[in-house]
Structure formats: structure tokens, C-alpha cells
């Protein structure tokens, strides 16, 4: 072992008595942890990523995994992560790329917010028996209605309503591109979105022809790389989303390494096989807010003002003011992506240190838009770090219209959040383009799993709303009176416009 090598991260052990030497672990591990030596199966734990594929496939439960079997001397400042990052950079002299979302133990605001329930002064509503409305419309709403009298003396609507997307649940599936994830993964998500009456994002990798049957449920993304973007692509989507930034790495662009650009990905993205797909920050035609307006309008003009245009930004310090600018740009929705948002690969220093949590960002965006009297100009979509239905209820109460889920939908398909997406060897067939691995993900099965998750969360949301005596989601939206902060400081309570517990 040379200077800078680090102890094992995971230790795999085999219970020899249980193992039947069937070799499934060998077949299933793309990292080469297992190999056969004569009658025995040998283990090399070092390449293990804790993806749990072997464990899930072992018919005898013979495999066990231990994290960090070798301790460093414990130290509150010089953590294991800090030390290992230094070893890595001392060796390489490079920027560290890492997978998944923010990995620092910041307190999670969601977990310090509690929801309300009715007792006596108003009744809870049982969603099994009574109507419960989660239907959500995304898009521009007029700030007021005008009516005119017909010659016959009837009152008729004079205000024209802009196109809106109709969702049967406020849960949408966020943008994960083909390239970052496999076609089978995208197909599964698309079918689930179709099944549950919601929408999913294509990500910035274009729209594969196998997804055309679901195009009415797809929001096509236009990022700075403009991969796969042409007029047909824009026409196919139910809506168009301009990606300005991403919560996992605000201020920097995206980068799909050439090795993930296989023939099919290259075709969908319309770039040469094996070339890096680089989406720089910023868009080259957006160097200022009026330029954003121009791109929004350019997209609307191209699609004859029939398509909604969303704008996605990473949650940063000044998000509220930026959102107000977006609301004035003709955009129909602003997507705010919090700093816990996932990604296939991001520089560790950005992933862990740049941006703000979604809870605070949504609260301030909603407040700012109301202050300026432009809340109806845009819908507000929260994304980045939505882990369960309670998070959704809370973020809607803080002012969001709907949410995007990303990582959670992958977990529903088997993802174990091992964070090695960037390796391109995802043993679950999700974040990979290797054919044999992709084939492991069966869209028939995975789409049901994802749809189940959305249905389950939707049910839980109904129950939470019913308990709060609310039978329509618009009465939860921005209803911060139904939240209380538990051990949150005064500053953050003020930002959230939420009272402390007991108050």
C-alpha cells in the first residue's frame, strides 16, 4: 500500500455454510467483487460500492456487508470524508466528482416542520368516503376574471385562460436524461407518469423514439447544450423546460462523459458517438434576465404559443428575486431545485457546499411572488430532496404547486443510492448504457413500482389533507398556518413564515 491509499470502504463477507456456490453474485456484480476459484467463491471487497445487487440476488442470504470496517481515529473536524478527499486530491491534483446529492449532514428543515390535524373545532375528512381533490393545474392563471353579458342576457367569460397542464396528483417525475439513465429506466418512468396522470421530464438528452407514445406526458428539456433539440422535439412535448441550473451543482453545467454516449444516446442527443456531451453554464443566449425572456418567447414563438415553458433554476441565495424575474418572462412555471437534489455526477465541492435548501427557497419564492402580486403568473415546482409524502405536504404548504421527484423514483426501481452512477455500471440497469445491465431493468415491472410509489404518496397526501380538514389541494398551498417549526431558529422561522410549535 502506498501513501494515500485508503482503508476499505465496504467489507463483503460470505457465509460459506450458507453459500450454495451458484455464482449469481459473480454474474450480478459488474465491479468484479466476486470471482470463482475452483469450488470456492472469492471476494475482493475493494471495488464494492454497496449497491446491494449481490445481496438482493443471493438465494441463501449468504452475503453480508459492513461499512467502514476499518476506523480512522475519530475526529469531529478531520472526518473520514475530509481526509479521504485530501488523499485523493494530493494524488491526482484534480477536482473530485461525486454521485447523488448533497452528502453533508446539514439539518433537514423538513424534519423540523410538523403538520397540523383537526381536533373538534373542525372535522377531519376521511378521503375514503368524502371527496378529496389533488388535481393540480400548472401554468399561468389570470390574476382576475372578466365577464361580459351576451345579447341573450347570460354572463359569459371574457378572460382567455392560457394553456395549463392537468395533473391528477401534485407529484411529477423530474428530469433525468437518456444518457444519464437508461432507456429502460426512462420508459419505466414514462409509463408510470402515464398511469398516474402526471408528467415526467426528459432531461436534456433529447427524446428517444421509444418514448413517443408517452410524449403527451413528457416535459422536454432545453439545456445550454441544446442536445436533441429541434422543432419536432419541441412540438412533441406537453411542455418545454429551460434548464438554467441544477440544485446538485448550481452555477456549473452538465457533462456526460463520452463513454456513456453509445449509438442510441448519440442519435437521441444528435451528437457523434463517444464524444463528450457538454452543457456549459450558462446558456450562450442567456447572459441576463431579458435574455431569458427572449429564449422563453423564442420557444413559445416556435411552438405557436401552444406549449407551456418552465424555467428551472437551482436554489441559491437570491432565488426569490430571480423567480420574480422569471414570472415576468412569459414563462408558465418556475422549477426550484434545492441543494439536496441528486445527480449522476457533480463536483463534490459544489454538491456539498453551494445552494440552499428547497424548503427555504420555496417559502421565499412564494412570498416574493405574492408580495409583487404575480403569484398567478407562474406555477412553482419544488424539487431536490423530496423523500416522502410528508415532504410534499410540507413544501406545498410552504407555497409550491407541485413537486418533481428524482432519486425517489429511481429508488422505486431498485436504486440503492450507492452514489456510483458516474461509473456507468449501475447493476440495477438504471444509470448505465451497458446493454446487459440495462436488460436487468424490466419496464413492465419497474413502471408498476414507480406508479405504486406515486399512488401511495398520493394516498398519504390525501390522508394528511383530510386530517387537516382540507379537501382541495389549493387550500393547502401556501397554508403555512398548518405548519409549525420544531426547534428551528427565529431567523429560519421568519423566512418560512411559520410559527414555532406551541404558538
Partner 1 sequence: MSNRWGLEEMQRVSIDAAGIHYTDLNREIKRAFAAGAREITLTNVLGQRFIADGLRGDVSLIIRGVPGGDLGMFMSGPTCTVYGNSDHASGNTMDAGTIIIHGSSGDAVAHSMRGGSIYVRDNVGYRAGIHMKQYEEKCPVLVVGGSARAFLGEYMAGGLIILLRRGEDGPFSERGIGSGIHGGEIVVRGEISPECLGVGAKVAPASSEDIGRIRPYLERYRAVFGEDSVIQLDGPYTRVTPSSSRPFANKYVWE
Partner 2 sequence: MCGIIGVVDRDRKGMSGASIKQALSMMNERGSGEGAGYVAYGAFPDYADYYALHIFFDNIRETKPKVEDIIERWGTIVHDEQIPTYEQPGIRKVHIPWRYFFRPDPLLMPRSTTPEEDIVTHLVMQVNSSVKGALIFSSGKNIAVFKASGWPEEVADFYRIQDYKGYIWLGHNRYPTNTPGWWGGAHPFNLLNWSVVHNGEITSYGTNRRYIESYGYQCTMFTDTEVVAYLIDLLVRRHLLPIPLAVRALAPPFWDEIDRMPEVEQQLNRAIRLTYGAALMNGPFAIVIANQDGIVGFTDRIKLRPLVAGECGARLYISSEEAAIRRIEPDIPRIFMPRAGEPVIGRVAS
CA dihedral of residues 153, 154, 155, 160 (deg, nearest 10): -110
Backbone dihedral angles phi then psi of residue 21, each to the nearest 5 degrees = 55, 35
Neighbours of 395 (CB within 10 A): 29
Minimum CB separation from partner 1 for residue 285, in Å?
5
Q: Among all chains, which residue has been given the C-alpha cell 470524508?
A: 81
Q: Which 3 state secondary structure label does DSSP give 218? A: strand
Neighbours of 455 (CB within 10 A): 15
Region of 32 (left: φ > 0; alpha: ψ -120 to 50; beta: rest) is left
- The interface with partner 2 within residues 455-484 (CB under 8 A) comprises 468-472, 474-482
Minimum CB separation from partner 1 for residue 183, in Å?
18
Neighbours of 210 (CB within 10 A): 16
Instruction: State whether the Cα torsion 145-149-154-160 is positive or negative.
Output: negative
Taking CB under 8 A as the binding criterion, the range among 27-35, 62-70, 251-259, 372-380 that sits at the site for partner 2 is 372-380
125 or 234, CB closer to partner 1?
Answer: 234
Minimum CB separation from partner 2 for residue 107, in Å?
24
- The interface with partner 2 within residues 152-191 (CB under 8 A) comprises 155-157, 159, 161, 164
Report DSSP letters for 447-493, one per residue. HHHHHHHHHHHHHHHHHHHHHTT--BGGGTTT-GGGEEESS--HHHH
Minimum CB separation from partner 2 for residue 451, in Å?
21
The listed partner (partner 1, partner 2, none) that binds 368, CB under 5 to 8 Å by sort, is none
304 or 490, CB closer to partner 1?
Answer: 304
- The interface with partner 2 within residues 195-254 (CB under 8 A) comprises none
The listed partner (partner 2, partner 1, none) that binds 298, CB under 5 to 8 Å by sort, is partner 1
Omega of the bond leading into 282 within 30 degrees of 0 (cis): yes
Question: Do 23 and 62 form a contact (C-beta atoms < 8 A)?
Answer: no
79 or 303, CB closer to partner 1?
Answer: 303
Residues found near partner 1 in the complex (CB under 8 A) = 85, 88-89, 92, 94-99, 224-226, 229-231, 234, 255, 257-258, 266-267, 270-272, 274-276, 278, 280, 284-285, 294, 297-298, 301-305, 347-348, 419, 422-423
Minimum CB separation from partner 2 for residue 163, in Å?
11
> Which of 125, 239, 333, 410: binder of partner 2 (CB under 8 A)?
125
Minimum CB separation from partner 2 for residue 397, in Å?
8
User: How many amino acids of this chain bind partner 2 (CB under 8 A)?
Assistant: 43
The listed partner (partner 2, partner 1, none) that binds 217, CB under 5 to 8 Å by sort, is none
- CA-CA distance, 30 to 7, in Å (whole number)? 21
184 or 266, CB closer to partner 1?
Answer: 266
The listed partner (partner 2, partner 1, none) that binds 407, CB under 5 to 8 Å by sort, is none
- The interface with partner 2 within residues 128-147 (CB under 8 A) comprises 130-131, 133, 135, 137, 141-147
Interaction between residue 373 and partner 2 (CB under 8 A): yes
Neighbours of 280 (CB within 10 A): 13
The listed partner (partner 1, partner 2, none) that binds 95, CB under 5 to 8 Å by sort, is partner 1
Picking from 457, 461, 490, the residue whose alpha carbon sits closest to that of residue 476 is: 461
Residue 438 is given by DSSP the state H
Neighbours of 234 (CB within 10 A): 18
79 or 89, CB closer to partner 1?
Answer: 89
Minimum CB separation from partner 2 for residue 199, in Å?
17
Minimum CB separation from partner 2 for residue 368, in Å?
11
Residue 252 is given by DSSP the state S
Return the beta strands (E) in 158-299 as ranges.
165-167, 171-173, 200-201, 218-222, 239-243, 254-256, 277-279
Minimum CB separation from partner 1 for residue 61, in Å?
30
Minimum CB separation from partner 2 for residue 462, in Å?
14
CA dihedral of residues 295, 300, 304, 307 (deg, nearest 10): 150
Interaction between residue 119 and partner 2 (CB under 8 A): no
258 or 500, CB closer to partner 1?
Answer: 258
Q: Residue 392 burial (CB < 10 Å; 0-12/13-18/19+)?
A: buried
Which residues here bind partner 2, judged by CB under 8 A?
Answer: 118, 121-123, 125, 130-131, 133, 135, 137, 141-147, 155-157, 159, 161, 164, 370-371, 373, 375-376, 397, 468-472, 474-482
Amino acid at each position: 500500500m502506498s501513501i494515500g491509499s485508503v482503508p476499505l470502504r465496504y467489507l463483503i463477507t460470505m457465509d460459506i455454510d450458507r453459500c450454495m456456490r451458484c455464482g449469481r453474485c459473480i454474474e450480478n456484480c459488474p465491479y468484479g467483487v466476486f470471482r470463482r476459484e475452483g469450488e470456492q467463491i472469492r471476494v475482493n471487497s475493494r471495488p464494492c460500492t454497496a449497491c446491494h445487487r449481490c445481496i438482493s440476488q443471493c438465494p441463501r442470504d449468504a452475503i453480508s456487508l459492513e461499512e467502514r470496517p476499518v476506523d480512522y481515529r475519530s475526529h469531529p473536524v478531520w472526518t473520514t470524508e475530509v481526509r479521504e478527499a485530501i488523499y485523493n486530491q494530493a494524488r491526482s491534483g484534480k477536482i473530485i466528482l461525486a454521485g447523488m446529492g448533497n452528502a453533508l449532514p446539514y439539518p433537514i428543515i423538513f424534519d423540523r416542520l410538523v403538520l397540523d390535524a383537526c381536533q373538534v373545532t373542525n372535522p377531519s375528512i376521511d378521503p375514503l368516503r368524502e371527496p378529496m381533490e389533488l388535481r393540480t393545474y400548472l401554468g399561468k392563471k389570470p390574476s382576475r376574471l372578466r365577464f361580459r353579458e351576451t345579447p341573450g342576457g347570460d354572463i359569459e367569460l371574457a378572460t382567455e385562460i392560457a394553456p395549463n397542464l392537468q395533473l391528477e396528483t401534485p407529484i411529477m417525475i423530474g428530469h433525468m436524461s437518456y444518457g444519464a439513465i437508461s432507456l429502460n429506466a426512462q420508459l419505466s418512468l414514462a409509463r408510470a407518469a402515464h398511469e398516474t396522470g402526471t408528467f415526467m421530464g426528459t432531461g436534456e438528452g433529447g427524446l428517444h423514439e421509444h418514448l413517443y407514445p408517452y410524449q403527451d406526458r413528457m416535459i422536454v428539456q432545453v439545456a445550454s447544450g441544446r442536445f436533441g433539440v429541434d422543432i419536432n422535439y419541441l412540438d412533441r412535448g406537453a411542455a418545454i423546460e429551460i434548464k438554467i441550473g441544477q440544485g446538485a451543482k448550481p452555477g456549473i453545467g452538465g457533462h456526460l462523459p463520452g463513454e456513456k454516449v453509445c449509438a442510441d444516446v448519440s442519435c437521441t442527443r444528435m451528437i457523434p458517438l463517444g464524444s463528450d456531451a457538454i452543457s456549459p453554464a450558462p446558456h450562450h443566449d442567456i447572459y441576463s434576465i431579458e435574455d431569458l425572456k427572449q429564449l422563453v418567447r423564442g420557444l413559445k414563438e416556435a411552438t405557436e404559443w401552444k406549449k407551456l415553458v418552465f424555467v428551472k433554476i437551482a436554489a441559491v441565495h437570491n432565488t426569490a428575486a430571480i423567480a420574480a424575474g422569471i414570472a415576468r418572462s412569459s414563462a408558465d412555471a418556475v422549477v426550484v431545485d434545492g441543494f439536496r437534489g441528486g445527480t449522476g455526477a457533480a463536483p463534490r465541492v459544489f454538491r456539498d457546499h453551494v445552494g440552499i435548501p428547497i424548503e427555504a427557497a420555496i417559502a421565499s419564492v412564494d412570498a416574493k411572488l405574492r408580495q409583487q402580486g404575480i403569484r398567478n403568473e407562474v406555477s412553482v415546482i419544488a424539487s431536490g430532496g423530496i423523500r416522502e409524502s410528508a415532504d410534499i405536504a410540507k413544501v406545498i404548504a410552504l407555497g409550491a404547486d407541485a413537486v418533481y421527484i428524482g432519486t425517489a423514483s429511481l429508488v422505486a426501481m431498485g436504486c440503492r443510492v450507492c452514489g456510483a452512477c458516474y461509473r456507468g455500471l449501475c447493476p440495477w440497469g438504471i444509470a448505465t448504457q451497458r446493454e446487459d445491465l440495462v436488460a436487468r431493468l424490466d419496464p413492465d415491472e419497474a413502471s408498476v413500482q414507480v406508479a405504486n410509489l406515486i399512488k401511495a404518496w398520493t394516498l398519504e397526501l390525501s390522508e394528511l389533507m383530510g386530517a387537516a380538514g382540507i379537501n382541495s389541494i389549493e387550500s393547502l398551498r401556501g397554508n403555512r398556518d398548518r405548519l409549525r417549526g420544531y426547534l428551528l431558529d427565529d431567523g429560519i422561522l421568519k423566512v418560512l413564515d411559520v410559527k414555532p410549535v406551541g404558538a
